[in-house]
């Protein structure tokens, strides 16, 4: 389940930014997740909640923005939605030289900072 490593990385990056900016906490995080990124949204939600425990993100909501997969045939320039499982060869010319235009995204889009802490402050041991 690589969703836990993704959740831990997101929490780490957001917590670092929150501490650097003096934020009291985090209300929500929005991630852009491509259809072809291999991420199961329900698993990511579950892992995110676990990863937030004991951090400045405790209680933060995770929102995801899905990005559909799109491909383009290099020889004939036809574009199409890839779907799942992805269709990566061109139906028009049979070309197998495909460029993925979207669908692999996995990035933090927005973070909404909290006005006050969501929980008791976390004391980190040196």
Q: Is residue 106 part of a domain?
A: yes
Residue 93 assigned ligand-binding role: yes
pLDDT of 1: 59
Instruction: Give φ, ψ of 105 to 5 degrees.
Output: -60, 145
Q: Is residue 52 part of a domain?
A: yes
Q: Is residue 28 part of a domain?
A: yes
Q: Is the peptide bond before 19 cis (omega within 30 degrees of 0)?
A: no
What are 66-83's pLDDT values in tens digits?
999 999 999 999 999 999
Residue 73 assigned ligand-binding role: yes
Q: Is residue 53 part of a domain?
A: yes
Per the structure, how many domains does the chain have?
A: 1
Residue 2 assigned ligand-binding role: yes
Q: Is residue 40 part of a domain?
A: yes
Q: Is the pTM of this model over 0.85?
A: no
**Helix-then-strand count for the chain, H and E:** 2, 6
Q: Is residue 96 part of a domain?
A: no
For residue 17, what are the domain limits?
2-68+102-113
Q: Extract the residue ranges of the chain whose pLDDT is less than 70.
A: 1, 116-126
The CATH number given to whatever domain includes residue 36 is: 3.30.2320.50
């Amino acid at each position: 389940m690589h969703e836990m490593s993704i959740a831990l990385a997101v929490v780490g990056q957001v917590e670092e930014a929150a501490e650097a900016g003096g934020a009291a906490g985090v209300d929500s995080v929005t991630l852009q997740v491509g259809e072809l990124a291999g991420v199961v949204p329900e698993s990511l939600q579950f892992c995110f909640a676990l990863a937030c425990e004991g951090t400045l993100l405790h209680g933060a909501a995770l929102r995801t923005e899905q990005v559909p997969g799109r491909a383009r045939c290099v020889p004939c320039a036809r574009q199409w939605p890839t779907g799942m499982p992805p269709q990566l060869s061109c139906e028009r010319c049979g070309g197998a030289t495909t460029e993925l235009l979207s669908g692999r995204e996995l990035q933090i889009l927005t973070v909404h900072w909290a006005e006050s802490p969501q929980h008791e402050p976390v004391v980190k041991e040196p």
